[in-house]
Amino acid sequence: MNKRIALICLFGLFLLLDPPSAGAQAGPEGASREWAVWTSGGYAVTGGQSGDGVWNLGARYGLILTSPHGSGFLRGQLEYGVDVLPVWLIVQRNNTAYGGSVDPFAFKWIFTSPAKVKPYVILEGGTLFTNTKVPEFASQINFTTAAGLGAHFLLNHKNISAEVRFQHISNAGMTAYNPGINTVQVRLGFGAFFRRE
């Protein structure tokens, strides 16, 4: 199982670093899609089961839905994305949970200025599956919702991203015991936008 996960991650990284079609560019203006790989980690804060540590690794495929809209510092464009996270670790008080998740709803507003740094805000949600109950004594199936603030730092044809995010993990009342986990995470990524063809 671990070999399969490693192969999937390596294949995704290969596609990102050497995409099958030309047209990679640093920024979102004039782009139609985004590919990215990233990792994030952080700790649980108050408002649920506290003291837990989280780490995950994932990839995103995003579609740029609009050209730049708005005026002033709010001018930007909307991206819809899907995140696949094949690797999740949640370090709890009595055990460590391993799992994976899919976030089919990721909406990102990418601000158009300044030129070399593209700030963004993101809202996303999905489902997390783990080998043991998360939070402890709750459920192996949970739902995740997140909000983040980050930026793409543009290079020649690629970009590096950094993001601070708040993520809530909860089983939405599927079990009577549902304390949830509220985490603050830092996410670092590497990606590229691709031109319309």
DSSP bridge partners of 151: 119, 162
Question: Which has the closest alpha carbon to 34: 185, 116, 157, 165?
Answer: 157
Tokens of 121: 């805000």
Please count the structural domains in the chain.
1
Q: What is the share, in percent, of the chain residues with pLDDT greater than 90? A: 63
What does the alpha-carbon distance between residue 8 and residue 6 come to, in Å, rounded to a whole number?
Answer: 6
Q: Which range of residues forms the domain containing residue 39?
A: 2-195
CATH code, domain with 106: 2.40.160.20
Residue ranges in the chain assigned as alpha helix (H): 2-17
pLDDT (tens, 9 = 90+) of the chain, 197 residues, equals 455 555 555 555 555 444 444 567 768 888 899 999 999 999 998 776 777 899 999 999 999 999 888 888 889 999 999 999 999 999 998 899 999 999 999 999 999 887 889 999 999 999 999 999 998 889 999 999 999 999 999 998 899 999 999 999 999 888 888 888 999 999 999 999 998 66
pLDDT digits (tens, 9 = 90+) for 99-128: 999 999 999 999 988 788 999 999 999 999
Question: Which has the closest alpha carbon to 150: 177, 119, 176?
Answer: 119
pLDDT digits (tens, 9 = 90+) for 60-69: 999 999 988 8
Q: What is the share, in percent, of the chain residues with pLDDT greater than 70? A: 86
What does the alpha-carbon distance between residue 25 and residue 187 come to, in Å, rounded to a whole number?
Answer: 21
